Structures are given as C-alpha cells and as structure tokens.
Amino acid sequence: MFLDFLRLKLASPDFCFQAMFVTFCAYLVGFASGYGFREVLPPISFLFLLAYYRLDYVNSNLQAFQGKGYLLLFGLFLIFSILTSNQPLDSFLHVGRGLNKQFMVFFLALECAKNRQKVRLLAWMLLLGCYLEGLACVHQALTGYDLIHGDPLLSGRLTGTMAWYWVGSYLVLAGIPCLALACELWQSFGRGIGSFLVCALLLPPLFGIVFGGSRASYLAALATAAFSLLIHQTKLSRKQLALYLGLPTLAIIALLFFFGEGRFSLSGLVHDSRLTLWGYALKVFAQDPLTGVGAWQYRPTVQSLPLAATSPAELVNLSHPHNVYLQVLCETGLIGSLFCFLPIFALFLHGGRLVCQILRRPQIARQKRELAHLAFFFWLGCFAYFVHGLVGHDFFRPWYQALFFVHLGILQGAATALQINLKT
C-alpha cells in the first residue's frame, strides 16, 4: 500500500517539487548544525528534483535558464583541474566529494527560486539557520561549550556548532541575504515594532559574528556595505565619497593602531602569515603557469619546494594559501582560472544587472520589484563571498562553496523568473 501511494505521489510534478523544496529548506535551516544536513539532504532533495525534471522539465527554471553554457564551462574547469594534476587520483577525490555537498546545491537553489514567495521563504530559512546558530554561539559563550557537539572555545574564539573558526564567516555570508527581510519588517511594522523584531532576530547572529573573531568576515561585511552604498548612491561627489568611505576606513585604522591587540592590531595585520602564504602560492604558480599543479596539490607542491626547509612548519603544512583566487591560479593555472572565474563572474554580473535595472524602473509591477529586491540581497551575498575569498578559505571547502552556490543559484533562479515575467 505504501509503495503504491509513494508511486502515485512521485507521478505528480507538484509533489516532487514540494518535496524538493521542503528538503532544501531543511538543508538551509540545519546547514551549520552538522555534516548530516550538508551531506545527506542535498542528494535526497536532488532525487526529487530529477523526478520533477522528468515530469515537467518544460516548465522548470533550468529549461528557461540562459546560462547553461557557463555551467558547462565550469564543469570543464572541474575536469581540467583533475586531468592536469600531478596526482589525478587525489584531485579526483578532492573535487568529487563536492558532488553531493556543493555542486547539486546550485541546481536545487536555481529551481527552488521559482517566484517571489519561494525566494522570500528561502531567505527566511537562511535567517532561521543564522538565528539558531547565533543562539548556539551565545550558549557557548555563557557555558564554554557548544550545546550540540560539546565543542569548547577555540583559543578564546567562538566555534558554534561548526567546531572551528568558520562560524563568523558562515554568519556573515549566510546573513547578508537575510537583510532583505529586515527591510520588509521595517516596511510592514513601522520603525518601532519593526526595529524590535529586527534586533530580536539579528542580535544572536551578530553576537556570533563579533565574537567569532573572523577578520575575513569583518572585511566582507564592510566591503559589501560600501558596495551597496555605491550602488544606491549613483551621484556621489568627491566629498561624499570621502565621507561615506574614507572616514570610516580611517576610523577603523585608528582603532586598530591605538586599541587593537594581537590579530587585530595594525602590526598583526601587517605581519599576517597570509602574506607569506600568498608568496608560496606564487611560487607554486611558477611551477606550471598554464595548467597548474592540480586541485588539492598546493600543499604537496609547497612541501617539495626548497623554501619548505627554512619556513615554519605550520605554514608549509597548510592545505591552501588563504586566497581562493591564488589557490585556483596556482592549482589550475591561467587556463583553469579562466574556465573557473569566467562563468562565475558572468552569472554574477548578469543577475546583478537585471535586478538593478528592475529596481531602477518604478513603473515595474510591485511583485516583480519585490522579487528583484530579494534577489538583490542574494547578489550582495555573492559579492561578500568574492571579497571574503581574498583572504578566506579553501575554494573547494564543502560548506564554503555550497553556501556560495546557494546564493548564486537563488540569484539565477530569481533572475530567470523575472525574465519570464517581463516577457509575459
């Protein structure tokens, strides 16, 4: 009986879509809670997506999506990073692990962003995930241990449920699209009640960001705020530009110089080990500038260089140079970097251009403008990732890349929906 019932349900495209959407929402809410959410839920959701494509591909976002060629180019990048590797099997295992953790996520996000209601709900799921992770950070700060996994503080810094320093980066990158909901709350409830609701929802994540101590997340947040300001202020005089960007920058430098300690002092930033790692990456790049040494081959290549004998072991043993652009450059060369970043930045620019065009046209219908407004903040989330990548994590790190593909997929899904609506 149950199998017959399930077979009947799976014959319905609406059921397949809803099942995919619900499991993807659960994935967003539990994203930071553990590997189970990030590794098990995407394949389950993807199975429902395949069933939906089989039944109703003609009405899917993927069918209408105009960037399939860019996806093919990125797929060629992944193959290229394996075939040109010094150790193809190691590269294959490193890249291949992203199949269920990262690469499926883009297609799920693309399809789930069907309309304004769906995109808003996805943003709420991200906000709920950030809120719960923020509460986990508060609990860890008060007790010294994480509520779920029992992890202690790491060198005095919060780890939340992510067991490492990544929690601040996660909260910033996942939280930026949620700011669209803060704007909606202010508009719906007014400044009084709206401000109270916004503070209640955002204070726990903000606590995790501040006391997570991730300098990369601070940089991403500040740069994204400045970028958003420049987008909205189309006519800035030199004095306004100095006021909005220059003075806050000088204030931050002054605070670091007079009050900063350790990692957050001016000398700590100037003598950061990342500068040394970037030099290592350039030396790895010089080994094979065109095709690189292969995915996941940065560390073994550094360890084989003469500098390994005289450099600190903790730097030589790191698996990435703390810069995703230099990592891709040295591991896949100039050719691989073109295959990688051309499709990513093309999709980013395409989605952003369409969204900004709609937001600047007041005659566009309200529902379309609301969808564009939501998509704009996912666009900012992608921008924050690009800034964060200047000093951030391993390009292929599962949670890091998956979160980016969530933003990029939702942005492309919303842009596709907007294009379809504009034609009708």
**What does the pLDDT look like over 112-148, one tens digit per residue?**
999 999 999 999 999 999 999 999 999 999 999 998 8
- Write out the residue range of the structural domain in which residue 353 sits: 2-234+247-423
Tokens representing residue 147 in the block: 């509520």
pLDDT attached to residue 241: 59
pLDDT attached to residue 256: 52
pLDDT per residue over 152-180, tens digit each? 998 888 999 998 888 999 999 999 999 99
Give the three-class secondary structure for 60.
coil
CB contact at 8 A, 167 and 32: yes
The CA distance from 390 to 388, in Å, is 5
The CA distance from 415 to 352, in Å, is 9
144 torsion bin: left (phi>0), alpha (psi -120 to 50), beta (else): left
- pLDDT-derived band at 420 (thresholds 50, 70, 90) equals confident
Tokens representing residue 166 in the block: 């990544």
| pLDDT of 264 above 80 | no
Would 284 be classed as within a structural domain? yes
Would 224 be classed as within a structural domain? yes
The CA distance from 29 to 411, in Å, is 19
The CA distance from 226 to 246, in Å, is 10
Query: What does the pLDDT average to over 181-199?
Result: 88
- pLDDT-derived band at 300 (thresholds 50, 70, 90) equals very high
Does the predicted TM-score (pTM) go above 0.95?
A: no
- pLDDT-derived band at 263 (thresholds 50, 70, 90) equals low
Would 194 be classed as within a structural domain? yes
Q: How would you class 338 by CB atoms within 10 Å of its CB: exposed for 0-12, middle for 13-18, buried for 19 or more?
A: middle
Would 162 be classed as within a structural domain? yes
pLDDT attached to residue 225: 87
Q: Give the list of residues 6+ apart from residue 267 with CB closer than 8 angstroms, or none.
A: none
pLDDT attached to residue 155: 82
Would 241 be classed as within a structural domain? no
pLDDT attached to residue 247: 58
Most confident among 40-49, 224-233, 238-247 (mean pLDDT): 40-49
15 torsion bin: left (phi>0), alpha (psi -120 to 50), beta (else): alpha
Would 32 be classed as within a structural domain? yes
Residue 319 is given by DSSP the state: S
**Rg for the chain (alpha carbons), in Å?**
22
DSSP secondary structure string for all residues of 4-52: HHHHHHHT-HHHHHHHHHHHHHHHHHTTTT-HHHHHHHHHHHHHHHHHH
Give the three-class secondary structure for 318.
coil
- pLDDT-derived band at 253 (thresholds 50, 70, 90) equals low
| pLDDT of 238 above 70 | no
- pLDDT-derived band at 422 (thresholds 50, 70, 90) equals low
Lowest model confidence (mean pLDDT) among 208-217, 284-293, 327-336, 377-386: 208-217
pLDDT per residue over 11-70, tens digit each? 899 999 999 999 999 999 999 988 888 999 999 999 999 999 999 999 999 999 999 999
Query: What does the pLDDT average to over 294-304?
Result: 97
CA distances 88 to 79, 93, 107, 360, 396, Å, are 10, 9, 27, 48, 16
Query: What does the pLDDT average to over 92-104?
Result: 92
| pLDDT of 286 above 70 | yes
pLDDT attached to residue 240: 62
CB contact at 8 A, 230 and 236: yes
How many C-beta atoms surround the C-beta of residue 103 within 10 A?
20
pLDDT attached to residue 151: 87
Give the rounded percent of residues in the chain with a pLDDT score beyond 90: 69
Would 242 be classed as within a structural domain? no
Q: Give the list of residues 6+ apart from residue 391 with CB closer than 8 angstroms, or none.
A: 215, 216, 219, 274, 322, 323
Q: How would you class 235 by CB atoms within 10 Å of its CB: exposed for 0-12, middle for 13-18, buried for 19 or more?
A: exposed
Domain count for the chain: 1
| Signed CA dihedral, 98, 101, 107, 110: sign only | negative
| pLDDT of 84 above 90 | yes
| pLDDT of 261 above 80 | no
Q: What are phi and psi of 295, to 5 degrees?
A: -60, 135
Which residue in the block uniquely carries the two structure tokens 């996520």? Answer: 105
pLDDT per residue over 371-391, tens digit each? 999 999 999 999 999 999 999
Torsion angle (degrees, nearest 10) of CA 203, 166, 101, 282:
140
Would 239 be classed as within a structural domain? no
* Mean pLDDT for the chain overall: 89
pLDDT attached to residue 11: 86
Which residue in the block uniquely carries the two structure tokens 């500038």? Answer: 289
| pLDDT of 254 above 90 | no
Identity at 272, one-letter amino acid code: D
Tokens representing residue 93 in the block: 């295992």
Give the three-class secondary structure for 322.
coil
How many C-beta atoms surround the C-beta of residue 88 within 10 A?
15
Q: In terms of pLDDT, which residue wins out, 232 or 323?
A: 323
Identity at 140, one-letter amino acid code: Q
CB contact at 8 A, 387 and 224: yes
User: Apex CA 52: angle with CA 49 and CA 58, to 5°?
Assistant: 120
Give the rounded percent of residues in the chain with a pLDDT score beyond 70: 88
